Structure 1
Amino acid sequence: MTPLRILFQDEHLVVLYKPAGLLVHRSKLARGETTFLVQQLRDQLGQRVYPVHRLDRPTAGVMVMALSSSAAARLSQAFSEREVDKHYLAVVRGKAPEAETLDYPLREEDGSRPKAEMPAMPARTDIQRLDSVELPVQVDRYPVARYSLVRAHPQTGRRHQIRRHLSRRGYPIIGDAKHGKSVHNRFFAEHLAAPRLLLAAIHLVFDHPCRDQRLEVSGALDPVLTALFERLGWVGHLPQDQVTLTPRDAARSRDPATGERHP
């Protein structure tokens, strides 16, 4: 089994890159599965780990896990109170808008009750088109096929929020079997060697649970996404593994748009 890629680790937490297709932990919806991220990481580190947030099974990317119950409690609270910045990259159908806030309420999808009985909850996602490509092939009814690379920054944490928001706006993520379009999913699988959901968590920013520091972690994409970006001419948008630790007060005094510190 290939070891998980560790991006940062100290005595309190570990930040890693979750492979696409791997469940974070055991679930009633996948009773036949035998491999899970939590167990694999526990065996790799030789100690107990505590999940504090989730990524969907088909989604790859940066995740943090605690190494003690006290750190887990603080990190879980930070996620639940929306004190963690999360950024994703997605490959979508069509030419997405340059920048937009998607503000569509969403019903929760927990499988416990029929959707019609679930209340619609506020949900907001900021998106930015980083690049786009036009391929001279007829995938659907048009003579050319257009796709975009989108950076998504969710402001709320509804289940499948990015996938549902982009689909509702008319730019479904490639490889999304539920919210996308099968003809485009097949085209990427058969002709571009990308047979999966093209969504990755690339960046996390949060306060360290046990130190007076702000932790910022970026993760390089896996080989499937990296090869796709190279093929589509998006190499300049490939993230790299990077970790930055900043004193908490200094980090929070920075202007989020420019990175400059306020006096």
Structure 2
Amino acid sequence: MNNEPEIIFEDDHLLAAFKPDGWLVHRSEIDRNENRILLQYLRDLSGHHLYPVHRLDKPTSGIIIFGKSSEMATLLQQQLESENSVKEYLAVCRGYCPEQGVIDYPLPPVADFKHQRKRPKADLPRKSAITLYRRLDTVELPYEVDRYPTSRYSLVEIQLKTGRRHQIRRHFKHIHHPLIGCPKYGKSSHNRFFARQYDCARLLLHASKLKIMHPISETVFDINMTPRGTFSELLGKLNWNLTN
């Protein structure tokens, strides 16, 4: 199954694309050895200079949007921050999470660099962070991964109301249902199990829906995309059907 970057919408003002897991949106000192750079790839593919509007973390796949001018990127950012925009994700978490809920838990900035990590966590300013979620399906597997004879997991639909760094992963750790495949906020025993049992070693987080108003045409811009690659294959192996 194709898991390469792909342009899924383009006009004179903006470009929307599929970002595979493992690709950086743009070059970063945090991961200077990574050569898979989505921004450069899409610039070469489209023949246009592109301006990032929002970001997806390297291990996250899904829909991402770029402006074809700095002015358009600013207008798109304003749209994404408006109450009318919709940013939805699909994820797999450990355990049976509640059927639905709101995680309203302020988050401090992520400390990527050494000088940031030297500051006590209590000194880092927290910002409002709100995540809505709805459980779509569950599975109980006959494998002892942790301390129980079986292991439970949930497929979850998530909507971001704010856009803090690593917000979904940090919020689901906060409610004790960490995402599968996350090395930083997840649990290594479950990550290893999915890699070994299902050949799925990636973070199970996918940006599945983006809905905004086009800043120029003022028409509703609505894109939906199901997971690809090993995430898609895993859904089949666990008999999880997104159309239900």
1:172 matched to 2:178? The reply is yes
1:128 matched to 2:129? The reply is no
| TM-aligned CA deviation for residue 238 of structure 1 | 6.0
Instruction: Provide Cα deviations, 1:17-66, integer angstroms capped at 9, x if missing partner.
Output: 10001000011111222231100000111111111100001000111111
1:237 matched to 2:242? The reply is yes
Partner of 1:161: 167
Pair 1:29–1:83, CA change in 2 (3 A): farther
TM-score, normalised to structure 1's length? 0.86
Q: In structure 2, list runs of 5 or more residues that go unmatched.
A: none
1: distance between equivalents of 2:138 and 2:218? 40
Cα pair 2:30 2:112 within 8 Å, conserved: no
2: distance between equivalents of 1:102 and 1:40? 35
Partner of 1:103: 104
* Number of residue equivalences: 238
* Secondary structure in structure 2 of the residue aligned to 1:29: helix
Structure 2: which amino acid aligns with 1:86? K
* Secondary structure in structure 2 of the residue aligned to 1:174: coil
* Secondary structure in structure 2 of the residue aligned to 1:106: coil
Instruction: Provide Cα deviations, 1:213-260, integer angstroms capped at 9, x if missing partner.
Output: 1111011211211110000011x2169xxxxxxxxxxxxxxxxxxxxx
* Secondary structure in structure 2 of the residue aligned to 1:107: coil
Q: Which of 212, 228, 238 pairs up with 1:222?
A: 228
Q: Which of 119, 122, 126 pairs up with 1:116?
A: 122
| TM-aligned CA deviation for residue 3 of structure 1 | 5.3
TM-score, normalised to structure 2's length? 0.92
1:197 matched to 2:203? The reply is yes
* Root-mean-square deviation (Å): 1.8
| TM-aligned CA deviation for residue 80 of structure 1 | 4.3
For CA contacts below 8 A with separation 6 or more, give which structure has more relative contact order. Answer: 2
Query: Which segments of structure 1 move beyond 6 Å, counting only runs of 4 or more?
Result: none
* Secondary structure in structure 1 of the residue aligned to 2:93: strand
Structure 2: which amino acid aligns with 1:237? L
1:183 matched to 2:189? The reply is yes
How do 1:1-263 residues align onto structure 2 when only pairs under 5 Å count? 4-81=5-82, 83-111=84-112, 113=116, 114=119, 115-234=121-240, 236-237=241-242
Structure 2: which amino acid aligns with 1:176? C
| TM-aligned CA deviation for residue 196 of structure 1 | 1.0
Cα pair 1:82 1:156 within 8 Å, conserved: no
| TM-aligned CA deviation for residue 190 of structure 1 | 0.7
